[in-house]
Amino acid sequence: MLTDARLVAGKDLRLEFRSRVTTTQVLPFVVAIVLLFGFAFEPDADLLVEVTPGLFWMTVLFASMLSIQRSFGIESADGVRDGLRLSGMNPSGIFLGKAAAVFVQLIAVEVVLGFTVTILYGAPIDGLGVLIVTALAATAALAGAGTMFGVLAAGLHGRETLLPLLFLPAVAPVLIAASQAHGLALAGDSGSGLRWSALLALFAVVYVSFGALAFGPLLEES
Amino acid sequence: MTAIPPVDAPGAPAHTGSTATRYLGFVVAGGLALLVALGLFISPPSIEQGDATRIMYIHVPSATTMYYGFGLAGFASAMYLWKKTEFWDLLAGAAAEVGLVFCGLALATGSIWGKPTWGSYWQWDARLTSTLLLFVLFSGYLAVRALQMDTAVRAKRAAFVALFAMIDLPIVHYSVDWWRSLHQEPTLARRDPEIDGMLLFSLMTGMLVFALLFTWLLIHRFRVEFLARRHETKGLADAIATRRAEVHLDQSHRSPDVLDASTGAMETTP
Amino acid sequence: MLSGFPALSGLDLEIAQREVALLRGPNGAGKSTVLRLCAGLVPLESGTASVLGHDVEGDVVSVRRKVGILGHQTNLYEDLTVADNLKFWSSAARAPKVDLASVMDRVGLERRLGDVRVGSLSAGQRRRTAMAVLVARRPRLWLLDEPHAGLDQAGRDLLDGLVAEAVQVGVTVVMASHDHDRALAIATCVVDLAGGMNLAQVKSPESPTHASSTPGNPTGVDTAQPSSGPSSGPSTGPVPRRAPASSPVERSR
């Protein structure tokens, strides 16, 4: 299973490297959102700093939508999905591989997003340790849930619109926990922040496990 | 589930009612009347909130019934994935739909309760917020069920979505609760320190009546969907027969000399 | 069932190892579905199917690992290079490490194309890449859906050569093709399909004259003896099968 995961993750990331969709599309998208929120709320420095955690994670959620769509978009061309089924690879391995690739891409997005938010909103970078832990756990949860919903809804004709509807409410807890942890970290309250991070880690475990089990049956029959 | 004859058979049911549901229906109707009497007239107003509490007689039962519905949908989905029979799929769908109705009712009544109590229709109360999220989650489930695709494939996918929603349920509750507990606010779950006997009785009656109402609606919804499916797939045998007929069409096109000469010469020229 | 419509309606089929079976029939007869069934990609409504000794319903993963499909779609990642695709798909099948150069030579792809995006290749080159993937995966059963379509003369010769080589090493081939002449030349048995079931199955000796003598026997009739023309080769017992109402869908090896 892990060999398959590594193989698929490698393939997805290599594909990303060659097609550069994340760098050319998702990153600018993310910067645009930060900018637009600035427009929407007016450049009130205090307000922007206060809403930074929430805005940061909302933006990550939107970015993950794009990543997931892309992750399964590449599988919809030219019978590749059939090829995956036929390859004889362990479906849970395929799941972990795809989720891992999404995870890596999202982390990259978050780093850039972090810089953008720090510069544009003047948000401080305190509690970096907690921030990193939070980001890792939250992203893992998002990648897990997203890949599961992705195989169900994304990349197939007429079902792209279903992904946001299914995914966003389902990961609302991640949004809550991540924003809280982020906010607390920035405020200097690492202890409480870490409690939320621990919760996020639990979410990640649950979502990834469920996804690994569900992916096999769901991959069958588009 | 008793066998129901195919749609076009002579004995096919013309509606989804049956003796059992008629009895049940009467009981439910009577129960609702009783509940109205208890709720609006007989039981006393609460000390803290006055007459506004009366809406609790609908709100609380709606909420519990909603949980029955979603819980049943989750259970039926798991059973479907195990047994793969149509019954469980239909049950899951019907339970989720009826559950969603009660969810909406719980939200509406909760919001209405909020106006006199909080001064606004929404206050990000933990319970209400989780319920709204549940509403959206199961709307997503019903959206998946509405997709046009092979029945069995769709059923499997919907089942996974339902199971995920069930697993997400405690996660949602816990995180929303914790989130709101940081800001103290009057919650809907607050009950009077001294619970009046009549109040409790009315509440219990309400829960029972609503549970029965749910069952009645569930049975009908299930049957409607069952009949709709029968109507759609009008028998595998028919379809197979049609498919086979293609052979004869092909055959007759390819080798006209096979045809019996006595039935009339096959005019090869128009 | 495809959206409530049965693609196959009573198939009774048996193909032995090392055979090159040709599926014939009009469009919509179910040829592609039979191929997909052998790959374990199609759910069975009733009956049994076993491929390479594995039951399709119970142990589908084993079936898939040993089966290779070459169809209308290339099953290739457009954004990856030829080399990437070859490496990925052969590793996925746990095939022995592929010698890129030799495989590409075998299918007539210039070596320099190894680092070219599949999306940039011509249709014919993509077909050859798909063939390369098939060869690299080393499956025991080849399922070819209209393999000659879209290939030029050289490509078709190449394919026939690959099939011949494969059979030498013990591979079984099932192919659906409209290019009757060419396909019949390499086929060792012919299956006629129509309306989702097979009408007859005949082992055809090498001589092309016998190819035209396969009978088209309508359904429901008992085991009819196919009319065989003058047979010069060894008398190969034809294996026609009845196709009753909902017979087991059986394919065993």
C95 in the same domain as C44: no
Chain A residues 59-78 with CB within 8 Å of chain C = 74, 77-78
Distance from CA of C28 to the nearest CA of B (A): 10
Chain A residues 115-154 with CB within 8 Å of chain B = 145, 148, 152-153
The number of domains in chain A is 1
Boundary of a domain, candidates C108, C138, C168: C138
The nearest alpha carbon in chain B to C244 belongs to: B244
C150 in the same domain as C122: no
Q: Which residues are CB-neighbours of B162 under 8 A, at least 6 positions away?
A: B73, B74, B77, B92, B96, B141
| Chain B environment of C197 (Cβ under 8 Å) | 244, 247
Q: Is A13 on the interface with C (CB under 8 A)?
A: no
Task: Look at residue B265 and tell me if it is in a domain.
Answer: no
Residues of the domain holding A72:
2-219
The number of domains in chain B is 1
By percentage, how much of chain B surpasses pLDDT 70? 72
Task: Look at residue B171 and tell me if it is in a domain.
Answer: yes
Q: Is C168 on the interface with B (CB under 8 A)?
A: no
Per the CB < 8 Å rule, is A86 touching C39? yes
By percentage, how much of chain A surpasses pLDDT 90? 40
**Pair A94, A5: CB distance under 8 Å:** yes
| Chain A environment of C93 (Cβ under 8 Å) | 87-88
Residue-by-residue DSSP string for B193-206:
SS--HHHHHHHHHH
CATH number of the domain that residue B227 is part of:
1.20.120
pLDDT of residue B188: 53
Report pLDDT digits (tens) over B91-142: 999 999 999 999 999 999 988 888 887 778 887 778 888 889 999 999 999 9
The number of domains in chain C is 2
Task: Look at residue C7 and tell me if it is in a domain.
Answer: no
CATH number of the domain that residue C54 is part of:
3.40.50.300
Q: Which residues are CB-neighbours of A79 under 8 A, at least 6 positions away?
A: C71, C72, C73, C74, C75
Rounded CA gap, C225 and C208, in Å? Answer: 20
Most A CBs within 10 Å, among B164, B173, B178, to test the A interface: B164
Lowest mean pLDDT among A143-147, B171-175, B192-196, C27-31: B192-196
Q: Which residues are CB-neighbours of B109 under 8 A, at least 6 positions away?
A: B55, B58, B59, B62
C251 in the same domain as C161: yes
C164 in the same domain as C250: yes
Chain B residues 138-197 with CB within 8 Å of chain C = 149-152
Task: Look at residue B12 and tell me if it is in a domain.
Answer: no
Who has greater pLDDT, C183 or A172?
A: A172
pLDDT of residue B101: 95
C132 in the same domain as C145: no
Task: Look at residue C6 and tell me if it is in a domain.
Answer: no
Residues of the domain holding C88:
76-138
C124 in the same domain as C81: yes
Boundary of a domain, candidates C138, C162, C177: C138
Sign of the torsion formed by the C-alpha atoms of C130, C131, C134 and C137: negative
Boundary of a domain, candidates C97, C112, C138: C138
Per the CB < 8 Å rule, is C75 touching A80? yes
Report pLDDT digits (tens) over C195-247: 656 555 665 544 332 222 223 322 221 222 222 222 222 222 222 222 222 22
C53 in the same domain as C21: yes
Name the nearest CA neighbour of B114 among B94, B131, B101, B98: B131
C151 in the same domain as C252: yes
C171 in the same domain as C104: no
Of the partner residues C66, C77, C94, the one whose CB lies closest to the CB of residue A80: C77
Task: Look at residue C41 and tell me if it is in a domain.
Answer: yes
C115 in the same domain as C84: yes
C83 in the same domain as C155: no
Task: Look at residue B245 and tell me if it is in a domain.
Answer: yes
By percentage, how much of chain C surpasses pLDDT 70? 69
Distance from CA of A165 to the nearest CA of B (A): 6
pLDDT of residue C238: 27
Per the CB < 8 Å rule, is C195 touching B152? no
C209 in the same domain as C85: no
Residues of the domain holding B224:
23-185+197-255
| Chain C environment of B152 (Cβ under 8 Å) | 43
pLDDT of residue C92: 85
Of the partner residues A74, A79, A87, the one whose CB lies closest to the CB of residue C79: A74
Of the partner residues A11, A83, A89, the one whose CB lies closest to the CB of residue C75: A83
Taking any CB pair shorter than 8 Å as contact, residues of chain C touching chain A are 39, 41, 43, 61-62, 64-69, 71-81, 84, 88-89, 91-94, 117
Per the CB < 8 Å rule, is B251 touching C3? no
By percentage, how much of chain A surpasses pLDDT 70? 96
Chains contacting A (3+ CB pairs below 8 angstroms): B, C
